[in-house]
Chain A
């Protein structure tokens, strides 16, 4: 096994041993999954809605190049500055550059997994820009010097008490400040308001870009997204290059299923569509007085960072993903080990395809094995991504590059060689059964050798039958004749 795979297994063991984590996960992921189920049950044509959303995403990915060109053109025409970042380092360089040139000291951020992916905060801090996370969950993550463990619920791994303790330690909060969730929220809001007013730059991700108008759609449940994108003078939006739709109709198709899948809401509390920076006078729709708010500069950084690598491959379907997090909440593995164990920015079923697909099989293919292929993720994905199939594709690619453990690499071809020769198979089956029966005690084996010992660590294994079904069946038929 590679060092990366071993590290993954160590993180799994640590997560499984953490009872508090298991409780917190069961609670929040369970609540989100329940909300999602109720929201879709309430839709009369839930399946058709998912089909529409899938069609919108599939259509966009099929002509991604031309949509991106169109988007860049339209956004530029409306006064945006469009940047292209091929790698995470490019994105960091571009954004820190924007900050440096404008002498920006403070940036406020709304929640964005893409900025996590490129590790933007660290880069900005190094460039002398203080970064403040304004999404409540991300605010807590930042305070704890932690990492988000879920795509949409970054602190799913923490309990309310964990957060209360953190606020008392780091913010000097009083007992009254942390008495309940509304009080804690109020405290964070007080602290953040001052930051919003002083920040020179706002940073956000993008849920979906709309090609024909060059618009950015950002959905949030807290007002922070809107404040981030309207108050500071400069706004930077980091857009994963696959997150695009041709027009408003397809945007609507995706929004219909997005919040329902994420939290069970019919729609998020704030659905923000930004088209260009603030228009001052007389522009179309701006009125004679101009727009009352909005950034003076709107920079859009279009991020590749491995995404184009999967275009045209069997993994391309993962680019349909709209990062709702439903597959995490549905996944029995995620619900046990949580997001940090996966080791990458994107955990759960989607992460187990995204990380190896976009960021390299060598380091990440083991993630694709952390699934029983039960298919619960596919059942909830709002764009019907066949996640188990994609996990199999990753496993296939990994196997072809000799990344599977040696014993499996040896066992599979051997098993296949035997199973394709029925007479040899019967003979070998009898021999193996005889051998295995030496280990049994009243029909069960309590301890298996080698790698199979992982089974008997917690479960008994049935002893093989002395006579196989086919043999016995033939004997019975012969006797009956």
Chain B
């Protein structure tokens, strides 16, 4: 068995960096709570997923190389508070850079030591958070790329159940896409909105106070929809919930 890591690099992703810094700070807090030293490489930018999903492979590859450089100064594991960006690094960097003699091998090495946040907590650190005596009722939305790309099914649920126990709402169709899909939300606005509507209906019907996900991209979509509706339900990243489970 590999020894429990004591240091990680945190790759927060472009959206957390600019739109949801609180999720990044919460991820730092939780990791430190479990005795892990967190290093935040200051040169980090974007993993390149927007270009990759748009079909702009050369642009995506350029961003992938930058990210690989930024995260290869040390061999510490990389933790990403986003399933889709972790999926990009783990499942798409190696293919994207397969023909690149210099970066191909580096991409593979990085992929092998990159984890989504909840995956790292459960699968690598084996944490079992303490139950919070009180707090909001939580519903969990399974973000697609984490779910289907990284197989994140049990880990986030286990963490949330540990802190919230009975205060877990059952979200119908939790594994159905919220309709974000990056540029899809804009290019195919009406379809994306209709998908979001179904998701919001399910969330509001679930009776939850807070909808939780592993990806701020989905949360930005769901949260923006809830806010437009004037809903009382709030959207929060799993790191925020673990950092402060009583908060609503």
Contacts and interface: CB of A to CB of B under 8 A. Distances in A.
Contacts of B180: 372
Contacts, number: 191
Contacts of B225: 458-460
B143 to A, nearest CB: 9
Contact of A470 (B12, B54, B56): B12
B205 interface: no
B33 interface: no
Interface in A459-473: 459-462, 464-465, 467-470, 472-473
Contact of A372 (B28, B60, B192): B192
A452 B186 contact: yes
A454 B20 contact: no
A470 B195 contact: no
Contact of B19 (A372, A408, A465): A465
Contact of A333 (B46, B66, B195, B197): B195
Interface residues of A, number: 60
Contacts of B227: 444, 459-460
B183 interface: yes
B189 interface: yes
Contacts of A405: 187
Interface string A125-152: 0000000000000000000000000000
Contact of B191 (A336, A416, A473): A336
Nearest to A337: B191
Nearest to A388: B148
Interface stretch (B1-9, B103-111, B113-121, B216-224): B216-224
B178 to A, nearest CB: 8
B78 interface: no
A454 B179 CA distance: 13
Contacts of B148: 374-376, 378-379
- The interface residues of chain A, by DSSP majority, are classed as helix
A332 B180 CA distance: 12
B62 to A, nearest CB: 5
Contact of B21 (A373, A392, A416, A472): A472
Interface string A319-356: 00000000000001100110000000000000000000
Interface string A438-452: 000000101000011
A392 B45 CA distance: 23
A412 interface: yes
Interface stretch (A49-57, A164-172, A191-199, A394-402): A394-402
B57 interface: yes
A419 B183 contact: no
Given A395-B53, A465-B18, A370 B191 contact: yes
Nearest to A424: B45
B133 interface: no
A457 to B, nearest CB: 6
B112 interface: no
Interface string A392-430: 101111111000110010001101101110100100010
B12 A454 contact: no
Interface of A: 12-13, 16, 332-333, 336-337, 369-376, 378-379, 392, 394-400, 404-405, 408, 412-413, 415-416, 418-420, 422, 425, 429, 433, 444, 446, 451-452, 454-455, 457-462, 464-465, 467-470, 472-474
15 contacts: A332-B198, A337-B191, A370-B188, A376-B144, A405-B187, A415-B46, A416-B63, A454-B186, A455-B185, A457-B193, A458-B193, A459-B221, A459-B225, A460-B227, A465-B21
B77 interface: no
B45 A425 contact: yes
A331 B153 CA distance: 19
Nearest to A462: B19
Interface of B: 12, 14, 16-21, 24-25, 28, 40, 42-46, 48, 50-57, 59-60, 62-63, 65-66, 70, 144-145, 147-149, 176-177, 179-198, 220-221, 223-225, 227-228
Contact of B195 (A332, A399, A408): A332
Contacts of A376: 144, 148, 176-177
Contacts of A337: 191
CB-CB nearest 8 A-B residue pairs:
A372-B181, A395-B55, A454-B189, A416-B59, A374-B177, A399-B55, A469-B24, A469-B21
Contacts of A336: 191, 194-195
Contacts of B191: 12, 16, 333, 336-337, 370
Contacts of B63: 416, 419-420
A420 B189 contact: no
Contacts of A373: 53, 144-145, 181, 184
A371 B184 contact: yes
Given A332-B179, A395-B53, A416-B56, A16 B190 contact: yes
A480 to B, nearest CB: 12
A272 B129 CA distance: 58
Contacts of A415: 46, 50-51, 59
B55 A392 contact: yes
Nearest to B228: A460
